[in-house]
Amino acid sequence: MKENTVVNKLNSIEEYERQPVPASKLKGVRSFLGMYAGEHTAGTEFVIGPLFVAHGVSVSALFSGLIVGNILAVLSWAFICSPIATSVRETLYFKLEKICGRNLVVLYNLVNGMMFCFLAGSMIAVSATAVGIPFNIAMPELGDWFPTGPGWVITVFAVGAVITLVAMLGYEQVSKFANIAAPWMIMVFIAAAFAALPELGVTSLGDFWEVADAKIWTGVPMEGQSKFTFWHVMFFAWFCNMAMHIGMADMSILRYAKKWQYGFSSAAGIFLGHFVAWIASGILCAAAAGSIAPGPIAYNAAGVAGAICVIVAGWTTANPTIYRAGLAIQGIMPTVRRWKVTLVVGLVTTIAACFPALVMMLLDFVALYGLVLMPMGAVIFIDFYILPKLNLQQDYAAKAGINFYWAPAFTWFATLIFCLALNMTAGVEIFFLGLPGWFLAAGLYIGASRFLQQKKTVKLQKAQ
């Protein structure tokens, strides 16, 4: 009799880590609408909205910055990431291995995987702030860096175990989970915000703007926090997911899309999550007198439904993020099954989630991880669109049979050094470094590819 065990089932899951996704496995737009709505109407929103309040964004800067920045983010998914993803139908990591060589991609995958671990860890922590409410667990505050007690650690590990299990089951289960959770989460966000508005003095629609200016987004930062403007909000809304769109991480997700136009489905998450939910959570923060622990502020406004929403919201972000991290680390160890790698990744992520600083520094961390991964996104874009027009070779490392290609390595390191120098010498904040950094990376890769490919003639292997 055929053995039917959990391990056998996990081993049977095929995620096409080192081959294009076959046509029979492509998914319709509904899968992506649900995935993006679930991922981006999620745990981060309960943190980022309050952090805008803490940084003293004015009401006009918030609304205008979110509109412009979120439109630019959707366009980046639709016109930069999605067309390449649906053309090659490969993971980001396998594509980079063909461009850069295995040795360089091992380093990149390690950095990428760890960044995604920390992001997913912050979302596990967000869910834990709600799970811990019935047990009166001490919640982290704005200045906390270390675990607040054993109760917090136990709660984090319980939440992390559930999230890791879903991620181990593969993209299909991650997508199904998001489709189930997304529709009602945004309704809870909205309901909680409406419930909190009367506490702030809003009794009619006409009162909202005046109260928002006076009591929510006042333009005055909390003590110890820097002042944010329209430009901070716009660039953050655009680049908070830079690693996903401009950095090409969502090639691993959108490779399942039947059409490149499904990249526009990101709008389902961006304008529900990074607009409505950020505004709603900012209102909740103001009603809670500046507290930013997501679980308690949602519970105070919407009761048990609010707490459950925070739990599930953290899951729907952490699930696909751990899935991506598992793919990244699995790219280093291609002979190890993806589910086993994801299990280890989930453990590392859960340990990281015990430290509240991941949540409290989320704005800076999200901007940093996007910036670190951005240059390789520019490499993929140039390699796919520009190099053939310059009579230069795509996928150079694979076709030249080399394990380390210096053109993308130089591009990655030089771009990050340039961005660090701008930050340290000119005082350019991290939120503003992504745009000049992308154009620099694009130019460096073109120049380095031309120099190296013309300098040394290599007998290319037959393209696969």
Does the pLDDT of residue 112 top 60, yes or no? yes
Q: Is residue 407 part of a domain?
A: no
Does the pLDDT of residue 455 top 80, yes or no? no
The whole-angstrom separation of Cα 130 and Cα 306 is 9
The whole-angstrom separation of Cα 137 and Cα 124 is 15
Residue-level pLDDT at 183: 63
**Residue ranges making up the domain that contains 120:** 25-367
The whole-angstrom separation of Cα 153 and Cα 159 is 10
Neighbour count for residue 335 (Cβ, 10 Å): 5
DSSP structure string for 265-305: GHHHHHHIIIIIIHHHHHHHHHHTTT---HHHHHHHHHHHH
Does the pLDDT of residue 461 top 60, yes or no? no
Residue-level pLDDT at 306: 75
Residue-level pLDDT at 463: 46
Long-range CB pairs of 212-219, under 8 A, 24+ apart, other chains included = 212/59, 213/58, 213/59, 215/286, 216/53, 216/59, 216/282, 216/283, 216/286, 217/52, 217/53, 217/57, 217/58, 217/59, 217/61, 217/62, 217/282, 218/56, 218/58, 219/56, 219/57, 219/58, 219/59, 219/61
Q: Is residue 363 part of a domain?
A: yes
Q: Say if CB 49 and CB 277 are below 8 A apart.
A: yes
pLDDT tens per residue across span 193-225: 888 888 888 888 888 999 999 989 998 998 878
pLDDT tens per residue across span 149-199: 788 888 888 888 877 777 677 655 555 655 566 567 777 778 888 888 888
Q: Where are the alpha helices (DSSP H) in 132-169?
A: 150-168
Q: Is residue 398 part of a domain?
A: no
Task: Give Cα 203 to chain centroid, integer Å.
Answer: 36
Percent of the chain past pLDDT 70, that is, above it, reads 85
* 39/414: higher pLDDT: 414
Q: Is residue 56 part of a domain?
A: yes
Token match 């993020």: residue? 321
Q: Is residue 62 part of a domain?
A: yes
Q: Give how many domains the chain has, as a whole number.
A: 1
- At residue 117, the 3 state secondary structure works out as helix
Does the pLDDT of residue 391 top 80, yes or no? yes
CATH (domain of 137)? 1.10.4160.10
For CA atoms 127, 30, 366, 20, the dihedral sign is: positive
Q: Say if CB 400 and CB 461 are below 8 A apart.
A: yes
Q: Is residue 78 part of a domain?
A: yes
pLDDT tens per residue across span 1-10: 444 565 555 5
DSSP structure string for 361-413: THHHHHHHHHHHHHHHHHHHHHHHHTGGGGT--SSHHHHHT-S--HHHHHHHH
pLDDT tens per residue across span 304-331: 777 777 777 777 777 777 777 777 777 6
pLDDT tens per residue across span 26-49: 888 888 887 787 777 766 777 788
Q: Is residue 12 part of a domain?
A: no
Does the pLDDT of residue 442 top 90, yes or no? yes
* 246/147: higher pLDDT: 246
Percent of the chain past pLDDT 90, that is, above it, reads 31
Does the pLDDT of residue 290 top 50, yes or no? yes
Q: Considering the entire predicted model, what is its pTM? A: 0.82
Average pLDDT over residues 434-445: 96
Nearest alpha-carbon partner for 252 in 84, 38, 383: 84
Q: Give per-residue burial for 306-323: e unless 16+ CB within 10 Å, then b.
A: bbbbbbbbbbbbbbbbbb
Q: Is residue 446 part of a domain?
A: no
The whole-angstrom separation of Cα 365 and Cα 115 is 9
Q: Say if CB 109 and CB 334 are below 8 A apart.
A: no
The whole-angstrom separation of Cα 157 and Cα 128 is 9
pLDDT tens per residue across span 69-102: 999 999 999 999 999 999 999 888 889 999 999 8
Average pLDDT over residues 354-366: 73
